[in-house]
Chains A and B, each alone.
Chain A
Amino acid sequence: MPFNLNEDQQDCLQELINVAMGQASDQLARYLDTFVDLRVPSIELVSALQLSKALESNEQPMALVSQGFFGYEGIRGEAILVYQHKDSDKIGDILGYEPEELSIEEQLIDISSILTTTFLNVFASQIENQMSYSAPRLLDDNSVALSQHLNQLSFSWDTALKVNITYRVTDYSFNCDMVLLIPEPAIVDIKKVIDRILEAF
């Protein structure tokens, strides 16, 4: 399995993610003026089919904001922020907007880009890399199948490394899932970077 991470590689990636997740949640906490509860993130290999099944089997309707990222050394992927509709309706209240001041879609994109760019910039700086981003895209139209949307991501893939982080805003019982997908060839590149970090230990 060329894409599998060994125990040390997984541990190293997890720690890089923890640091990035901590700073992203700090930014989210400041933006929402509240506290964000963090859990240990999960990292696993998924197939495209498994992923769309897993997301679609979730009965609650959701809104997704996805954004491609591109670094040096072949490191790239897609960051997807997943919101429950029942939560996305609350966002205006949380942010203290008057109705119609800013659409829910714009608010979701704002929150998503804070999380995505903070997370990825901190992640990149730890591996001495630098990220650029494609424009965020919102999908909240339930008529579009999720699998179809996944096919339109910035890359096509069969297997990806999936990192799942849940940001829980307990004061407002609002959750947001950040799903990072790193496609096959980029996994090989990220493993090289991780091995370089591990060698320094």
Chain B
Amino acid sequence: MGSSVLICDDSNMARKQVLRSLPEQLSKDVQLAKNGLEALDILRTNSINVLFLDLTMPELDGIGVLEGIKSEGIDVSVFVISADIQPEMQNKVLSLGAKAFLRKPVQTDLLVDRLQEHGYL
């Protein structure tokens, strides 16, 4: 069964990179968001299973999205894909409920590994 996916990144190129790395069963129902505010809007009104989330973004950053998901009790699995690779940041996103942290630019094999680990493939 397919899952609905949301990719949130302020960079068009980064969104494409993630999209290209998605295995076929996850690439059928994909929505895109340019910042955290757009992502939260989509999450509130759509049933999204998997969110691929950037951190450093204008309007509302990835940490803001994770906090929003938590406080609003939105049911979605979040995979953070970020250039901010500081260990403290990785721990922070995991403690806010993200399933996994991946560094940018995203590598397809690592993305597939993490999705498998969490039962999405």
Interface size class of B (residues with CB under 8 A): 20 to 34
Q: Is A40 an interface residue (CB 8 A)?
A: yes
The docked-state distance in angstroms from the alpha carbon of A29 to that of B85 is 10
Question: Is the pair B14, A38 in contact by a Cβ cutoff of 8 Å?
Answer: no
Question: Is the pair A40, B13 in contact by a Cβ cutoff of 8 Å?
Answer: no
Taking CB atoms, residues of chain A closer than 8 Å to B103 are: 22
Nearest to B56 among chain A residues (CB) is: A38
Nearest CB in chain B: distance from A84 CB, A: 23
Partner of B105, one of A29, A35, A39, A126: A126
Nearest CB in chain A: distance from B26 CB, A: 19
The docked-state distance in angstroms from the alpha carbon of A36 to that of B86 is 8
A residues contacting the other copy or chain, number (CB 8 A): 21
Taking CB atoms, residues of chain A closer than 8 Å to B89 are: 35
Q: Is B107 an interface residue (CB 8 A)?
A: no
The docked-state distance in angstroms from the alpha carbon of A10 to that of B104 is 18
Q: A18-B56, A19-B104, A40-B57 are in contact. Are A11 and B86 (CB under 8 A)?
A: no
Subset of 23 A-B contacts with CB under 8 Å: A11-B12, A11-B13, A15-B14, A15-B104, A15-B105, A18-B11, A18-B56, A18-B83, A18-B104, A19-B83, A19-B104, A19-B105, A21-B83, A22-B56, A22-B104, A23-B85, A25-B84, A25-B86, A29-B88, A35-B89, A40-B56, A40-B57, A201-B13
Which 10 A-B pairs give the minimum distances between C-beta atoms?
A22-B83, A18-B83, A15-B11, A19-B83, A35-B88, A15-B13, A22-B84, A29-B86, A11-B12, A26-B86
- Measured CB to CB, the residues of B under 8 A from A are 10-14, 16, 20, 56-58, 82-86, 88-89, 103-105
Given contacts A38-B84, A201-B20, 6 further A-B contacts (CB under 8 A): A15-B13, A18-B104, A25-B84, A26-B84, A40-B58, A201-B13
